[in-house]
Amino acid sequence: MELVINGLSKTYPNGVQALKDVTLTIPTGLFGLLGPNGAGKSTLMRTLATLQDADSGSAHLRNSVGDIDVLRDKDAVRRQLGYLPQEFGVYPKVSAWDMLNHLAELKGLANKKERLEIVGGLLRQTNLYDVRDKALGGFSGGMRQRFGIAQALLGNPKLIIVDEPTAGLDPEERVRFHNLLAEIGEQVIVVLSTHIVSDVSDLCPNMAIINKGQVLLSGKPHELTRTLVGRLWATSIPRSELAVAKQKYPVISTRLIAGQTRIHVIGDTQPGAEFASVAPELEDTYFAAIGGFLGDRIPAAPAPAPAPAPAAA
């Protein structure tokens, strides 16, 4: 099963182009959509979740038995869809059980016995069963997020879209959440948007980097990381020299380490004697892509997107 997105574009009435010709193929498993805030991730997610129309382009959910036009046949998608929005609320006075049961009804779980089983099961899995009769208004951020995932799992969805799910979770909660997602991702397509690189590197077999509405890179995280092997250089400079360095070299990231500024620079050759070659991490690829240092040479993932050629290595 795969989700094939082709040439998706969207311009808002205020002139902001949120999506520019987005083309992606998303296979079963966790797919990380990585990009800074405002990159167009949520627009893409909402479009896939049938909540928004695109101006042009297409998206299809294909499996062995059929092909669903995501943009047109919204009802068919919704039957296969689990969606956890970036921000969501609950009726504060309604209990977790009642709310989930209600949503299950809306999802179309018409068989009562089956529904109750599923609702109970999901609450157990998200570890909310013990508080199932408590009003949602009193839930902590993590509990609420788990409730969100529970509702997204209702009805055995084939396509699960989770928008920035770990924002606001403490590290422990995040780990739990990751485990949950990883488990889900074994069987269905899970599109996970985030701006936290480690979410993707930890979890996702496939990913894309998106900025200003465009897909900059897509592929498997380790392959994307590999594109920088041998081209990434680092040095430490005093903070005062940062501005000069930025003018002089293609700096993709800076980081303070023990009072010194460590800069990562991209280049096919060693930029200077003070620079040492470093092993790239996904984060470097991400910053390079966002900074526009990869876009020119590495074309945005061609369709059907295999890993980009590791030619430059």
Partner 1 sequence: MLKNIALFEFKTRVSRISTWVYFAVFFALSVLWIAAAGGLFKEANISFGSGKVFVNSPFAIAQTISLLGMFGVIVMAAVMGRAVQQDAEYRSHHFFFTSPISKLDYLGGRFIGAFGVLLVIFSSIGLGAALASLLPGMDAERLGPSSLSAYIWPYLIVLLPNSLLIGALFFTIASLTRKMLPVYIGSVLCLIGYLISLQLIRDIDNKTIAALIDPFGSSALSRITEYWTVADRNLRQIPLEGVLLWNRLLWLGIAALVATFGFMRFSFSRFAAPQVGGKARLVEDVPEEMPRAALAIAAPATIKPAGLAMLPRLTWLNLRETVKNIYFGVLVFAGVLFLIFASTTLGDVFGTSTWPVTYQMTGLLGGTFGLFMLIIIAFYAGEMVWRERDNRLDQIMDATPMPTWLPLLSKLLALMMVPVLLQILLMLCGMTIQVFKGYYNFEIGLYAKELLGIQLVDYWLLCALAIAIHSVVNQKYLGHFIMIVYYIAISFMSALGFEHELYKYGAIPPATYSDMNGFGHFLPRLFAFQAYWTAGAVLLVILAYLMWTRGTVGGWQERLQMARGRLHGGVKAGLAVGLLVFIGLGSFIFYNTNVLNHYRNSKAEQARQADYEKKYKATAKVPQPRITAVSVKTDLYPQEQRVRMSGTYRLKNKNDVPVTQVYLAFYRDDLVIHKLDFDIAAELAENDEVLQVRRYQLKTPMEPGAEATLNFDVELATHGFTNSGSNTQVVYNGSFINGRSILPAIGYEENGELSRDQDRKKFDLAPKDRMRDRDDPEGLKSNYISADADWISFETVVGTDEDQIAVAPGYLQKEWKEGGRRYFSYKMDVPILNFFAWQSARYSVKKDMWHGKANDVPIEVYYHPGHEYNLDRMIAATKASLEYFSNAFGPYQHKQFRILEFPRYASFAQAFPNTIPYSEAIGFIARVREGDEKDVDYPYYVTAHEAAHQWWAHQVMGANVQGGTMLSETLAQYSALMVMKQKYGEAKMQKFLAYEMDRYLGGRAFEQKKELPLARVENQQYIHYRKGSVVMYALQDYIGEDNVNKALKALVEECAYKGPPYPNATILLKHLRAVTPPHLQYVIDDMFENIVLYDNRTTKATYKELPGGKFEVKMSITAKKRKADKLGKEEDAPLADWIDVGVLDEKGVPIFLEKRKFEKEENEITVVVDKKPVKAGIDPLNKLIDRRPRDNAVKVELIS
Least spacing, CB of residue 51 vs partner 1, in Å: 3
Residue 304: asked if its preceding bond is cis (omega within 30°), the reply is yes
Least spacing, CB of residue 32 vs partner 1, in Å: 20
Separation of alpha carbons 54 and 6, rounded Å? 11
Tell me which H or E stretch contains 190: strand 189-194
Tell me which H or E stretch contains 3: strand 2-11
Residue showing tokens 């897909």: 215
Least spacing, CB of residue 214 vs partner 1, in Å: 21
> Of 187 and 270, which has the nearer Cβ to partner 1?
187
Q: Confirm if 191 and 183 have CB atoms less than 8 A apart.
A: no
Residue showing tokens 């949503």: 103
Separation of alpha carbons 89 and 108, rounded Å? 21
Separation of alpha carbons 116 and 134, rounded Å? 17
Least spacing, CB of residue 290 vs partner 1, in Å: 25
> Of 115 and 264, which has the nearer Cβ to partner 1?
115
Residue showing tokens 């529904």: 115
Least spacing, CB of residue 72 vs partner 1, in Å: 9
> Of 103 and 303, which has the nearer Cβ to partner 1?
103
Residues that bind partner 1 (CB under 8 A): 12-13, 46, 49-53, 75, 78-79, 81, 83-85, 87-93, 95, 102-103, 105-111, 114, 117-118, 121-122, 124-125, 127-128, 130-131, 134-140, 142-143, 148, 151, 153-157, 176, 183-184, 187-188
Least spacing, CB of residue 151 vs partner 1, in Å: 6
> Of 129 and 234, which has the nearer Cβ to partner 1?
129
> Of 101 and 261, which has the nearer Cβ to partner 1?
101
Tokens of 251: 């700096």
> Of 156 and 277, which has the nearer Cβ to partner 1?
156
Cα 250 to the center of its chain, rounded Å: 27
> Of 67 and 114, which has the nearer Cβ to partner 1?
114
Least spacing, CB of residue 79 vs partner 1, in Å: 5
Least spacing, CB of residue 131 vs partner 1, in Å: 5
**Which three-class secondary structure state does DSSP give residue 208?**
strand
Q: Which residues of 276-287 are buried (b: 16+ CB within 10 A; e: fewer)?
A: eeeebbbbbbbb
> Of 51 and 303, which has the nearer Cβ to partner 1?
51
Cα separation values, 290 from 24, 104, 165, 313, Å:
18, 40, 22, 20
